[in-house]
Structure 1
Amino acid sequence: MYALSVKDISVTYDKQLALENVSFAVPEGSITGIIGPNGAGKSTLIKSILQLLPTLSGNVEVFHKPIKSQKKIIGYVPQRSEVDWDFPTNALDVVLMGRYNHIGLFKRANKKEVTWAKTCLEKVGMQDYATRQISQLSGGQQQRVFLARAMAQDAKVYFMDEPFAGVDASTEKAIIQLMKEWKAEGKTVLVVHHDLQTVNDYFDHVLLLNKSPIAYGETQTVFTLDNLEQAYGGKIAFLQKAPATVKEST
């Protein structure tokens, strides 16, 4: 069964073509990395799939149903740079936001919902910061809170936009552990990612993107030097012949 099916997505941004004819299907219970150079449309792809951006064309299905009817089973972790961290709320309330699809936007969370939110904070090591304002947390702590929010959604398909950007090693380890737990539970995870050296270790499948798909499939098949050269236009530093040692040049 495919958890996600994307067909012929095209998007314009500032009158420029940002994505062109992107199609791929993601198996249930897998972790997929979306990689490509800066400006390749990776974040745009996730937002267009989630209907946060308008599309020129295309169709998206989640478990063979239109995505608009499947919002309750979708979780989303945005880039940290897109979050207003000065918004006056604490960590527990942020996590409870992940329950709005279940309890309703204007209803007060009951004791059961609050207990679940606290459990999610505990799973990411943030139980002692439940009443702390999010503006007072470090970057890694903020990311953990958003992971807890995603966990609170109890989704079947998760989208994560550069979750490892600017976090410490312990937070990165916590993110990887959570992704593996979701996979073990049969859930599906898509991750926008930029660190090429960890691709082989983190992902079952890879979508290599540069406005149009360069290649998609199992990581060991897609993550090759030839495909990377094609995607990055030669802007790759080849340290060795193994893809795991390839990194994007600055």
Structure 2
Amino acid sequence: MDAITVSGMTVVYDKQPALENVSFSIPEGSLTGVIGPNGAGKSTLIKAALQLIPVRSGTVEVFDQPYKNQKQLIGYVPQRSEVDWDFPTNALDIVLMGRYRQIGWFKRANNKDIKWARACLEKVGMEGFAKRQISQLSGGQQQRVFLARALAQDASIYFMDEPFAGVDAATEKAIIQLMKNWKRQGKTVLVVHHDLSTVEDYFDHVLLLNKRPVDCGPTQSVFTIDNLEKTYGGSIAFLQKTTPAGGR
């Protein structure tokens, strides 16, 4: 079964198309990279699929049901740049936000929820920072806290918007390990990603996007020189350095 099906999605900013008639499907249990140049609409796609921004047209289905009926199955890790890190809250409270579907809005977390949240922080190596204000954390530590929040959501599908941006090597390793663990558990992960050199190591499925889909499918068959040339245009020398010799 396909976990995510997007059909005919168009998004327009200031009369300029950011996405044009985008359609694709992501199989359940896949780890999918959304790849494309700057301005290709990768982050816009994530936000539009999650109904965080208005769309001109298009539909999103989750396990063959309308997205609005399946929201509880979705977890989301936004870009760090979109978060107000000066907001006066600590790491534990951020992670507890991932439990609000279970707790209920405007209700207080009980001991079970707090224990769950602390366990999630421990899994990303942040258990010692539970009471630390998020503004006092490094970029890598902040990203780990948001990963712990995603763990707390215990979702079936995760959308992650450039989770590796601005983090140290240890945090990047922790992130990819977490995503691969989700995949082993049968979860589906969709990741906006920009580093072509790691695509084959990180993802078993790829969506190549430049306002419209160029190709979507298994990494081995989609992540090729031909397709990357179509996606990135004239950056041929750069692509040849960062893609495998076996790519066409």
Q: TM-score range by the shorter chain?
A: over 0.9
Question: Hey, what's the Cα distance between the residues in 2 that align with 1:133 and 1:6?
Answer: 38
Question: Hey, what's the Cα distance between the residues in 2 that align with 1:165 and 1:236?
Answer: 24
Query: Partner residue of 2:185?
Result: 185
Counterparts of 1:1-250 in structure 2, within 5 Å, are: 1-238=1-238, 240=240, 243-244=243-244
- Specify whether residues 78 and 239 from structure 1 end up closer, same or farther in structure 2 by C-alpha distance, changes over 3 A only: closer
Question: Hey, what's the Cα distance between the residues in 1 that align with 2:29 and 2:237?
Answer: 33
Structure 1 regions of 5+ residues with no counterpart? 246-250
Contact 2:209–2:231 (8 Å) recurs in 1: yes
Q: Please report how far the alpha carbon of residue 244 of structure 1 lies from its aligned counterpart in structure 2 after TM superposition.
A: 3.8
- Paired AA for residue 101 in structure 1: R
Question: Hey, what's the Cα distance between the residues in 1 that align with 2:14 and 2:105?
Answer: 32
Question: Hey, what's the Cα distance between the residues in 2 that align with 1:195 and 1:99?
Answer: 32
Identity level (%): 75
- Specify whether residues 244 and 126 from structure 1 end up closer, same or farther in structure 2 by C-alpha distance, changes over 3 A only: farther
2:237 alignment partner, SS class: strand
Superposition misfits of 4+ residues, deviation over 4 angstroms:
238-242
Structure 2 regions of 5+ residues with no counterpart? none
Question: Hey, what's the Cα distance between the residues in 1 that align with 2:92 and 2:107?
Answer: 16
How big is each residue's C-alpha offset from its partner over 1:55-102, in whole Å with a ceiling of 9 and x where there is no partner?
111110111111111111100000000000000000000000001112
- Specify whether residues 233 and 106 from structure 1 end up closer, same or farther in structure 2 by C-alpha distance, changes over 3 A only: same
1:209 alignment partner, SS class: strand
Q: TM-score, normalization: structure 1?
A: 0.95
- 63-72 or 135-144, which deviates more: 63-72
Q: Over the residues paired in the alignment, what is the CA RMSD in angstroms?
A: 1.2
Q: Please report how far the alpha carbon of residue 240 of structure 1 lies from its aligned counterpart in structure 2 after TM superposition.
A: 4.8
Question: Hey, what's the Cα distance between the residues in 1 that align with 2:242 and 2:43?
Answer: 27
Q: Please report how far the alpha carbon of residue 238 of structure 1 lies from its aligned counterpart in structure 2 after TM superposition.
A: 4.2
Q: Please report how far the alpha carbon of residue 14 of structure 1 lies from its aligned counterpart in structure 2 after TM superposition.
A: 1.9
- Specify whether residues 87 and 223 from structure 1 end up closer, same or farther in structure 2 by C-alpha distance, changes over 3 A only: same
Question: Hey, what's the Cα distance between the residues in 2 that align with 1:244 and 1:136?
Answer: 40
- Specify whether residues 124 and 231 from structure 1 end up closer, same or farther in structure 2 by C-alpha distance, changes over 3 A only: same
Query: Partner residue of 1:248?
Result: none
